[in-house]
Amino acid sequence: MRSDTEILILGPLEARRSGEIIHIGGHHLRAVLAALVLSANHAVRAEQLAWVVWGDDPPPSSEATIQSCISRLRSLLGRDAILNEDHSYTLIAECEQLDSCRFERLVQQARDCVDDEPQKALKASRAAIALWRGPVLGHLGDEEFGHLEAIRLEELRLLAVEIETESELLLDHLSECASRLRALVVEYPYRERFWWLLIRALFADERRLEAMEAFDDYARWMEQSGLEPSTTFDQLVAGSGLAR
């Protein structure tokens, strides 16, 4: 792919050249590009691309249409952007050219240093979160071919938010951390770690009663879900119940 070109999937599918948006075209072209991006640097069979576009009932002209889409994408992204070998197509891209790859690299960096270097973890996690513009692939993320990858990347986004808030906690940004976590446990009550971090942030901010009330809310939500808390209040405030 041309070195000045990037493809974004953390939001509606976009291609950009030197920061300027490239008009991709209609649904068929966008679906083919999305499928190639999700398997970047790995071959995708022509029949798989046909399934992405038409499902289980491709028309007789599907092969010619896929070839036309590939030709059009090469004209947009660069002649060497897509390799064709043995009825398969491979999008060739560097990590810096794909927002999803940059995002995963930043999340891993944040994860690696959150315990020992929370300031670096905070910077990396915030940079990762900032790459998001909306749901993965926009409406294409709801289609069968992109659904699982959309779920996986969203899970990583929430992990980045967890690391961000934990880094804030470790850096003693307690009030800001607690305020954000109150909103997060409402939006994502099933993610225990948000509850744990909220309880610990409140306790560290010398708001013991609020911390105990938050633990009671957490325990009540778990009970309503047919589960039991996987840690105790004392373990949480001591930090021993926060294992990843």
Share of the chain above pLDDT 70, in %: 98
Does residue 165 lie within any of the structural domains? no
User: Would 177 be classed as within a structural domain?
Assistant: yes
> Is the predicted pLDDT of residue 241 greater than 80, yes or no?
no
Q: For residue 72, is it within any domain?
A: yes
Domain that holds residue 26: 5-96
- The pLDDT, as a whole number, for residue 227 is 87
pLDDT digit string (tens) for 138-184?
Answer: 989 889 999 999 999 999 999 999 999 999 999 999 988 999 999 99
- Calpha distance 188→88 (Å, rounded): 40
Give the residue from 56, 73, 96 where a domain finishes.
96
pLDDT band, very low/low/confident/very high, at 33 (cuts 50, 70, 90): very high
Q: Which of 86, 68, 59, 55 is nearest to 26 (CA)?
A: 68
| Residue 128 belongs to a domain | no
User: Which is it for strands 14-17 and 20-22: parallel, antiparallel or unpaired?
Assistant: antiparallel
Domain boundary, last residue among 67, 96, 125: 96
Catalogue the long-range contacts made by 51-56 (C-beta closer than 8 Å, 24 or more residues apart). 51/145, 52/143, 52/145, 53/27, 53/28, 55/144
Query: Is a pLDDT exceeding 90 seen at residue 238?
Result: no
The pTM for the full model equals 0.91
